[in-house]
Amino acid sequence: MQRTPLHPLHLEHGAKLVPFAGYEMPLNYSDGILAEHLHTREFAGLFDVSHMGQIDIRAETAAAAAATTEIALALESLIPADLLSLPAGRQKYALLTNAQGGIIDDAMLQNLGERFVLVVNAACKQQDFDHLRRHLGGATRASFPLVMALSDDRALLALQGPAAAAVLAELGHDLDDMKFMAVREMEIAGAACVVARSGYTGEDGFELAMQSADAERVARALLSHPPVKLAGLGARDSLRLEAGLCLYGNDITADTTPAEAGLNWAVSKARRAGGERAGGFPGDHIVLAQTPPNAAPVERLRVGLLPGGRAPVRAGAPLLDADSNAVGEVTSGGFAPSLGCPLSMGYVQPQHADVGAELHAKVRNKRLPVTVTALPFVASNFYR
């Protein structure tokens, strides 16, 4: 198991450590998952997400102004988003697709002016880096060589919750002009940080990237403010589930297309059929066929599921119709602290995907009622 730079801090705060994506990570601290979840919703939770990958992409030569355009176009050959119009100081949710139109990872892509940074899932970071290097290294669509680096000396912290902005203001950064998905470089607690106004909880918040050597100092500076408490993977998962956000490896995989996952919005209009730069990415013939203005049918759709009882319905549970025919499967499930009830997400055949549809989940040979419901379960509070 690898360890993040905040491992000593986790031990100091009584973390329950578990293996996750090759790392020893905190599942929760002494207060427990429920308390960490609710504290994040009301105040601010601090999450160590340093296990995630940070891939730096830049031009070996050429002026930054020219390089940005060509790097964006090169990345568009792998990502079905309009990156050419992504200005410096902004980031975008990005999908990496395969030849079958499946999602090999989801990521955040930041335009930092002279370079781009792709923040990817921990379990996929080496394969993503190899994928980028294989397709964009050497001969590329750019007129100059691209330099790509998967950093092993970077940390990433997520400060999430309604008090997050006030805490950073107390540290000298009034970020009222920084809207959701904005990104900028600044110094926090004496450390050079790349700060993005984003996160994966459905709350307002920030993700702070820095050198590993600075991580503990920044974390302690944030924790010195009473609204901030450490939170682990358990609360991170329950928060993202309430927000209806996909977990890679569960809700989206290399066998899932954007349309099936309800992620057509991540396929920019400029890249769709009839757009200015339609297609040109792996699996485009499948992805664009399923994406408006086209409407090729899909075999399954991601939906929210509300169990009828108090028992959680977790990943892997088959979904059945009234005649006990298999019509889908649960991909994420657990207890929702904000709602005081269990909830799940999963895939069902399109004819069973309407909100209000009544199904059953098979759990330990018992049929438990579940109702298809709209996503998200808890409204998002992004700062727009």
Q: What is the pLDDT of residues 218-255, one digit of tens each?
A: 999 999 999 999 999 999 999 999 999 999 999 999 99
**Residue 138: which pLDDT band, with cuts at 50, 70 and 90?**
low
Q: Is the pLDDT of residue 12 over 80?
A: yes
- Indicate if the pLDDT at residue 140 is higher than 60: no
The answer, yes or no, to whether residue 97 has pLDDT greater than 70, is yes
Q: With 80 as the cut, is the pLDDT of residue 64 above it?
A: no
HEC sequence for the chain = CECCCCHHHHHHCCCEEEEECCEEEEEECCCCHHHHHHHHHHCEEEEECCCCEEEEEEECCCCHHHHHHHHHHHHHCCCCCCCCCCCCCEEEEEEEECCCCCEEEEEEEEECCCEEEEEECHHHHHHHHHHHHHHHCCCCCCCCCEEEEECCCEEEEEEECCCHHHHHHHCCCCCCCCCCCEEEEEEECCEEEEEECCCCCCCCEEEEEEEHHHHHHHHHHHHCCCCEEECCHHHHHHHHHHCCCCCECCCECCCCCCCCCCCHHHCCHHHCCCCCCCCCCCCHHHHHHCCCCCCCCCCCEEEEEEECCCCCCCCCCEEECCCCCEEEEEEEEEEECCCCEEEEEEEECHHHCCCCCEEEEEECCEEEEEEEECCCCCCCCCCC
Question: What is residue 133's predicted lDDT score, i.e. its pLDDT?
Answer: 93
Share of the chain above pLDDT 90, in %: 92
Please tell me the predicted confidence (pLDDT) of residue 375.
Answer: 97
pLDDT reading at 33 higher than 70:
yes
Distances (CA, A) of 345 to 166, 252, 313, 375: 33, 11, 9, 9
- How high does pLDDT run on average in the chain? 95
- At residue 69 the predicted structure's pLDDT band, cuts being 50, 70 and 90, is confident
Going by pLDDT thresholds of 50, 70 and 90, the confidence category of residue 18 is very high
Q: What is the pLDDT of residues 315-372, one digit of tens each?
A: 999 999 999 999 999 999 999 999 999 999 999 999 999 999 999 999 998 999 999 9
Give the pLDDT of residue 316.
98
